[in-house]
Amino acid sequence: MQDFRNLKVWQKAHELALLTYEVTAEFPREELFGLRNSLRKTAVDIAAAIAEVSGKDSDAEASRTLGYAIALANRLEYFALLGRDLKMINDAAHADYSGRVVEVRKMLSGFSRNLA
């Protein structure tokens, strides 16, 4: 498989991870190890899972890892919704962020289908 940095889905996931750090930068201090950390870790884990796929020996292994990344994207979307509902992410930022999460999830699904 090719270098993960050349995969469009990884590039989008990496951009999402960077955006996550921006979106959560102003979270309250008491959320340092709560929702803020959960959002950041989950976003980074999505990009890391895609990078991991490029080193898998089989399509079946890669497909399982992509399934995990899709589950992480679902989790990230929920965390973002929770952040909005707790008034830590404003509506406009949430709409943009959530749209990017959905875009990455769709790309992951397409990538997974191409392996099958």
Tens of pLDDT, residues 24-77: 999 999 998 999 999 999 999 999 999 999 878 788 889 999 999 999 999 999
Give residue 58's domain range: 4-115
pTM above 0.85, yes or no: yes
For helices 8-24 and 59-85, the axis angle rounded to 10 degrees is 30
- First-to-last CA distance in the chain? 15
- Domains: count for the chain: 1
- CATH label of the domain that carries residue 57: 1.20.1440.60
CA distances from 1 to 33, 58, 115 (A): 36, 10, 11
pLDDT digits (tens, 9 = 90+) for 6-28: 999 999 999 999 999 999 999 99
Q: What does the DSSP 8-state code read for residue 5? A: G
